[in-house]
């Protein structure tokens, strides 16, 4: 156990470094903003009143984490009717996704108090102010969101902390090892950690998480579900697009779109009617990607402008938010982005759960465990570059039976691995009960 004086010194040095970097941090935060939202939220000021009643606080960093946490958010809304639910995000895109999700949940549960705000920067004062103002009955951090001063503030105010869907890639683990004393102190404030895999659990334990408070529960990503509206809208879109080869590239990144457009050019030499639905990861890049399509001489329709692909359109640019699941369901084949460039990949299970064959590039650091399961089940196709992607797409379009086999295999993987959500909810309920008993005592 680290002496309290050393823990305090390590966190003091961390906070000092944050203050030193604050101009750069504020420059980034200035961009991660939504109109009408006060930037004072980054200093721990709540944009809504907290006038009594118990609160559950769930933090997700960005869009990917929000989407992975969606089953948990829906379940907490259903099963904890006596609690206000507050979801925080770091990014503006994550905030937009949470707003959309909470808005749809509010229609189903009009009496529920569902709120979003931005997480404060991890300065000591901002962290204390946020936790003191919110006073949650339970703080839930999703995946790898371990902010030392926020965790310390939770301990100071007696707020139990859970880390759910705990994930720590080898690359992230190596980074955290350099500041192990800081992480050890932070993890000492975590009452329970639900790890995605045994390997993730072991990495957290090596950083200082107590084995007795660590459980391998599997990935919440497998508990993915979609509203009927997703299927209804996808069927409508597919009918309008007609009978032509359609593939979607979801959550794409810079230097990746060029390769995807090259692959699509090669594919159209064999299949001139093929349509690529291109879904960039970040909305601030929509115009840039549109210009890239023009540079590659790709006829294009932009969804945000109500433009509709005709028979000669090569690319349908999905420059909108919150529609990725619907667009995956429209396509015959899905390529999941962030994998042709060293980003680490994105959620392979979203198209698999919809019964769409999945293709990925080689960079899968963030989803190596999921990729292994899909690969072992024969439900994932790996490509290395634009040439192999084009040839794989052409082969799949020529073999509808193989597409059906891949689709069924992917769907079966998702169904077989469900269950992490139920176990996670049981553990969170136990923490709530323990916290309530402690508060009453």
Question: Which residues 6+ apart lie within 8 Å of 438 measured at CB?
Answer: 158
Strand partners, 86: 57, 115
- The CA distances from residue 232 to 117, 225, 226, in Å, are 31, 14, 11
Which strands make up the sheet holding 54-59, listed edge to edge?
Answer: 114-118, 83-89, 54-59, 138-142, 161-166, 192-195, 214-216
Dihedral of CA atoms 374, 409, 345, 386 in degrees, nearest 10, equals 110
Q: What's 417's DSSP letter?
A: T
- Active-site choice (32, 37, 65, 291): 65
- The CA distances from residue 364 to 9, 201, 333, 373, 384, in Å, are 37, 19, 19, 13, 12
61, 91 contact by CB (below 8 A): yes
Alpha-carbon gap, residue 174 to 168, rounded angstroms = 10
Question: Which residues 6+ apart lie within 8 Å of 335 measured at CB?
Answer: 247, 248, 249, 250, 260, 358, 359, 360, 361, 389
- The CA distances from residue 302 to 288, 309, 320, 360, 381, in Å, are 12, 9, 9, 25, 29
Vertex 343 angle, CA 257 and 35, to 5°:
75
**Three-class SS of residue 25?**
helix
End-to-end CA distance of the chain: 28
Q: Is 65 a catalytic residue?
A: yes
* Sequential DSSP letters for 138-166: EEEEETT---HHHHHHHHHTT--EEEEEE
What does the buried/exposed string (b/e) look like for 111-138 if buried means 16 or more CB atoms within 10 Å of the residue's CB?
Answer: ebebbbbbbbbbbbebbbbbbeebebbb
Alpha-carbon gap, residue 280 to 289, rounded angstroms = 8
Packed helices 386-398 and 257-270: angle between N→C axes, nearest 10 degrees: 40
**Three-class SS of residue 195?**
strand
Q: Parallel, antiparallel, or unpaired: how do β-strands 138-142 and 161-166 relate?
A: parallel
| Residues carrying an active site annotation | 65
């Amino acid at each position: 156990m680290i002496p309290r004086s050393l823990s305090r010194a390590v966190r003091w040095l961390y906070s000092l470094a944050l203050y030193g970097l604050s101009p750069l941090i504020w420059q980034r935060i200035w961009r991660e903003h939504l109109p009408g939202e006060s930037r004072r939220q980054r200093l721990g000021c709540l944009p809504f009143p907290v006038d009594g009643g118990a609160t559950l606080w769930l933090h997700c960093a960005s869009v990917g984490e929000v989407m992975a946490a969606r089953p948990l958010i829906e379940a907490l809304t259903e099963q904890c009717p006596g609690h206000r639910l507050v979801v925080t995000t770091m990014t503006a895109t994550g905030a937009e996704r949470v707003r959309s999700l909470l808005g749809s949940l509010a229609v189903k549960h009009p009496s529920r108090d569902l709120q979003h705000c931005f997480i404060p920067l991890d300065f000591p004062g901002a962290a204390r102010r946020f936790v003191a103002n919110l006073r949650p009955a339970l703080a839930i951090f999703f995946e790898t969101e371990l902010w030392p001063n926020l965790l310390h503030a939770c301990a100071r105010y007696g707020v139990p902390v859970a880390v759910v869907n705990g994930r720590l890639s080898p690359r992230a683990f190596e980074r955290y090892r350099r500041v192990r004393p800081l992480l050890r102190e932070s993890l000492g404030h975590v009452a329970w950690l639900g790890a995605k895999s045994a390997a993730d659990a072991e990495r957290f334990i090596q950083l200082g998480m107590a084995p007795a408070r660590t459980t391998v529960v599997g990935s919440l990503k497998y508990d993915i579900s979609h509203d009927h509206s997703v299927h209804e809208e996808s069927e409508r879109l597919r009918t309008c697009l007609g009978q032509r080869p359609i593939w979607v590239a979801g959550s794409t990144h810079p230097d990746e779109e060029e390769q995807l457009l090259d692959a699509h050019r090669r594919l159209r030499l064999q299949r001139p009617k093929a349509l690529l639905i291109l879904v960039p990861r970040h909305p601030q890049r929509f115009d840039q990607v549109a210009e890239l399509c023009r540079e590659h001489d790709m006829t294009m329709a932009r969804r945000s402008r109500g433009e509709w692909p005709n028979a000669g359109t090569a690319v349908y640019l999905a420059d909108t938010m919150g529609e990725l699941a619907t667009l995956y369901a429209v396509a015959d084949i899905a390529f999941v982005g962030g994998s042709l460039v060293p980003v680490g990949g994105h959620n392979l299970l979203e198209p698999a759960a919809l019964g769409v064959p999945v293709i990925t590039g080689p960079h899968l650091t963030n989803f190596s465990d999921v990729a292994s399961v899909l690969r072992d089940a024969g439900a994932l196709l790996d490509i290395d570059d634009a040439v192999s992607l084009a040839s794989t797409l052409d082969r799949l379009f020529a073999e509808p039976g193989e597409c059906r086999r891949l689709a069924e295999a992917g769907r079966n993987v998702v169904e077989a691995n469900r269950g992490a959500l139920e176990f996670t909810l049981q553990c969170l309920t136990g923490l709530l009960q323990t916290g309530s008993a402690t508060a009453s005592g």
